[in-house]
Copies of this chain bind each other. A is one copy, B any other.
Amino acid sequence: MTCVLDPGIRVSEIFGPTIQGEGMLIGLPTVFVRTGGCDYRCSWCDSLHAVDNRFRHEWKTMSTDAIWQEVNLLSGGRPVMVSLSGGNPAIQPLGALIERGHREGYRFALETQGSVARDWFAELDVLVLSPKPPSSEMTTDWTAFEACVEAARDKPQIVLKLVVFDETDYGYAKDAAARYPQLPVYLQPGNHTPPRPYGEEVDMDGIMKRMEWLIETVTCDRWFDARVLPQLHVLLWGNKRGV
């Protein structure tokens, strides 16, 4: 007999339901499970509280059961979309949580940069792959990225979500899209005033200007199958957490 212990999942925060603020599922009521820890450190990270070890004391190691109970409580026991985000949620053991939720009709979307592949990606309903452009100061390992696409085995809907700060990022986004012509593309203007430790104040005018620039760039370039969407939660609530 083998005894399988629940290894525990490192959680930064669980909140919702609120609407998904970005990408393919924008506007959809969602409960967020944000895991702690990341193998990346993007220069403009907007979730440092779930990435930087300085915030480690805020994270909790929770069992699948404990997370499931909290999600269930927040949703009032009613099936809802659950977004697994981070940090990089792919470095946590989330397969059992997905299986548990599916049994009760919940759906799961996972957001990751595509640096770590997991077998259980194939159990997701939506896999959002968000490779990080040059402005992040990270380098994309396209072999690891491809492993993520393969791990999904055409089962979840896969989409590309690309943050764009400038022309260089835009070129990177076009390249990423060209590598995966079968995947829908969502472009998102970057927030150059992300939450702490850089400060709490959002430059809304600046974000809106970047959004306008991105719309103009995409339409002038006649990239007519890319979608351009802002981060709705930032427009609504600035850098506030838990909404």
Interface residues of chain A, those whose CB is within 8 Å of chain B, are: 16-19, 26-29, 75-76, 78-81, 186, 208, 211-212, 215, 218-219, 222-230, 232, 235-236
**Contact (Cβ within 8 A) A228 B79:** no
Name A224's contact: one of B17, B26, B208, B232 (CB within 8 Å). B17
**Contact (Cβ within 8 A) B228 A27:** yes
A90 CB, min distance to chain B CBs, angstroms:
25
* Chain B residues within an 8 Å CB radius of A75: 222, 224
A170 CB, min distance to chain B CBs, angstroms:
14
* Chain B residues within an 8 Å CB radius of A186: 27
Name A17's contact: one of B18, B78, B211, B219 (CB within 8 Å). B219
**Contact (Cβ within 8 A) B26 A229:** yes
| Beta-carbon nearest neighbor of A212 in chain B | B236
**Contact (Cβ within 8 A) B81 A224:** yes
| Beta-carbon nearest neighbor of A76 in chain B | B222
**Which 3 pairs show the lowest CB-CB distances between chains A and B?**
A27-B227, A27-B229, A80-B224
* Chain B residues within an 8 Å CB radius of A18: 215, 219
Name A228's contact: one of B19, B80, B225, B227 (CB within 8 Å). B19
Bound Cα distance A223, B227 (Å): 26
